[in-house]
Amino acid sequence: MAEDSTSREAFNPARLLDIFDGDTPAIRQVIDETITLMRDILAKLAVGTEAARPQCRALVHELKGLSGNVGADQLHALSQEIEARLRDPSRDFSSCGCAELDEPYSRFLAGVERYLASGVSL
């Protein structure tokens, strides 16, 4: 059985720690910049029309990459699912899946906040 997006971690810092070899200032900068980029992408996805399907797919693809790079595992998995749906022209397109993305994005933010508040050094 395939693992769904909710069974994954909201924030998995191991990815960033590995990529940046524990460079705390770089990791914090990447997290801050990524959160801003993700927020901007989600705002653009808030309004989707059938004519905007290619743009939505590009934005979801970008979100998938960002989330994968920072360890936002739930958001990454859901972005993959939505990107696949957007590739299928026979599927209904009432929105870009923005409503579905809000919750894992919020869980990612909460996971980052919990991790930073725990005093664990990035």
In sequence order, the 6+-apart residues with CB closer than 8 A to the CB of 35 are 109, 112
Q: What is the mean pLDDT of residues 7-34?
A: 88
- For residue 22, pLDDT beyond 60: yes
Contact at 8 Å (CB) between 117 and 69? no
* Domain with residues 31-114, CATH architecture: Up-down Bundle (1.20)
In terms of phi and psi (left: phi > 0; alpha: psi -120 to 50; beta: otherwise), the region of 4 is beta
Q: Which pTM value belongs to this model?
A: 0.84
Q: What is the pLDDT of residue 117?
A: 84
40-97 per-position pLDDT tens digit: 999 888 766 656 788 889 999 999 999 999 999 999 999 999 999 888 888 877 666 6
**Domain parsing of the chain, residue ranges:** 31-114
